[in-house]
Amino acid sequence: MKMRKQVLLLVLLAALFSACSQNETRLQDGYYSAVLSDFDDYGWKEYVTIYVSGGKIVTVEYNAKNASGFIKSWDMDYMRIMDSEDGTYPNQYTRIYADALLNKQDSERIDAISGATHSYETFKLLAEAVLTQAMEGNEQVAFIDVPTSE
């Protein structure tokens, strides 16, 4: 009987520690946004906004705006040029990256899309920032420095 109590105690302690570590990394419900602190070399300011409910990301928006507020994925001229040169375009890769974050719930498990690797790096920075905000329950917009081109 004494051995059984010790085993039960160990199981309960393991569950307690497991629950504590899960609560520490659990996302807080709410809306969280991260945006580049300035416009990139092409005049776009990328952003990611997520909505968390029940500790899980339920919506993700990833896009960019120019100084006039025009959405990058709506720019048909830009789309045609980028698609012909890189094989992808903002209306496509922004949805793919956003969907990957929604489905994987983890910015580290998202793969780059050929032709949109610069945006991938920016997306990862923004996604990591909103996830940090969501873990802390901090709904203030996170401003992220523009990644430098190498």
The domain 27-144 is classified under which CATH number: 3.90.1010.20, 3.90.380.10, 3.20.20.70, 3.90.1300.10?
A: 3.90.1010.20
CA distance 77 to 3: 73
Give dist(CA 42, CA 35) in Å, integer: 16
Each residue's pLDDT tens digit, 73-119: 998 988 898 888 889 888 899 999 999 999 999 999 999 988 888 88
As a whole number of angstroms, the distance between CA 50 and CA 146 comes to 20
pTM for this model (two decimals): 0.79
Question: What's the pLDDT score for residue 149?
Answer: 60
